[in-house]
Amino acid sequence: MLAASEGLDTLVLEASAPGGQAGSSSKIENYLGFPTGISGAALPAAPRCRRESSAPDIAIPRQVERVDCHRPYTIHIEGHSAVRARAIVIASGAQYRKLALPDLARFEGVGIYYAATNIESTVCGGDEVIVVGGGNSAGQAAVFLARTGRHVHVLVRRDGLAATMSQYLITRIEQTPNITPSHAVRNRDARG
């Protein structure tokens, strides 16, 4: 966005959806300029350019397959031709670590989810929910799902949440009677 506003010919290539991981968050509370928080769904639209002419070109979904590192760089896009650029910013982020569970793929999207948005909370309804992980995303998911779920169990490998979760989320979990952090049995293949 800033490169485009400086007059550079800018192309954004995104493999799946705008917003990356943040797009799947129910509410981001520490994003500068949004003191009351912003939903992940609204985030991609937030940093608008003042003039439409200074916005970058955005291509979605376009997966970058390979980059030839001779200047000018050549970026090969899956199923499409290549584009050339004098500079590339790679911000390919992270992918979810998955649990070593038998038949995991069969339940993805039908019981096992990697986000906690209104969609997942609607699907979970008033059921009991297990959130696996002790980081801030897990804490936010637990607090969010506890609003509608019967009970939320937060499964962590460590003895407590303090080493991996921000104190404001730990406090909220402690104040929410239908959330229980539980110590998970350590599994060498299942991290998170």
Ligand X SMILES: Cc1cc2nc3c(=O)[nH]c(=O)nc-3n(C[C@H](O)[C@H](O)[C@H](O)COP(=O)(O)OP(=O)(O)OC[C@H]3O[C@@H](n4cnc5c(N)ncnc54)[C@H](O)[C@@H]3O)c2cc1C
Q: Is 191 helix (H, G, I), strand (E, B) or coil?
A: coil
Q: Which of these segments, 25-33, 147-155, 160-168, 174-182, binds ligand X (CB under 6 A)?
A: 25-33
Helix ranges (DSSP H) in the chain: 2-5, 104-107, 118-124, 136-146, 167-174
Question: Which phi and psi angles does 4 have, rounded to 5°?
Answer: -65, -40
* Distance from C-alpha of 186 to C-alpha of 129, rounded to nearest angstrom: 20
Closest residue (Cβ) to ligand X? 93
In the set 1, 3, 12, 29, which binds ligand X (CB under 6 A)?
Answer: 29
Q: Is there binding between residue 15 and ligand X (CB under 6 A)?
A: yes
Q: Provide the minimum distance between the beta carbon of 82 and ligand X in the complex, in angstroms, as a whole number.
A: 13
Out of 24, 121, 129, 134, name the contact with ligand X by CB under 6 A.
24
According to the binding rule CB under 6 A, does residue 140 interact with ligand X? yes
Q: How many Å apart are CA 83 and CA 190, to the nearest integer?
A: 39
- Burial, 18: exposed, middle or buried (Cβ in 10 Å; 0-12, 13-18, 19+)? middle
Q: Are strands 57-59 and 64-68 parallel, antiparallel or unpaired?
A: unpaired
Site mask for ligand X (CB under 6 A), range 158-187, x = bound: ------------------------------
Binding mask 89-108 for ligand X (x = CB under 6 A): --xxxx--------------
Of 4, 13, 165, 169, the one binding ligand X (CB under 6 A) is 13
10 counts as binding ligand X under rule CB under 6 A: no
Choose between 29 and 55: whose C-beta lies nearer to ligand X: 29
Residue numbers 58-77 binding ligand X by CB under 6 A: 63-64
Shortest separation between residue 57's beta carbon and ligand X, angstroms: 14
How many Cα atoms are found within 13 Å in the side-chain-facing hemisphere of 60? 9
SS (H, E, C) 105-159: HHHECCCECCCCCHHHHHHHCCCEEEEECCCHHHHHHHHHHHCCCCEEEEEECCC
Q: Which residues bind ligand X (CB under 6 A)?
A: 13-16, 20-22, 24-25, 28-30, 63-64, 91-94, 115-116, 137, 140
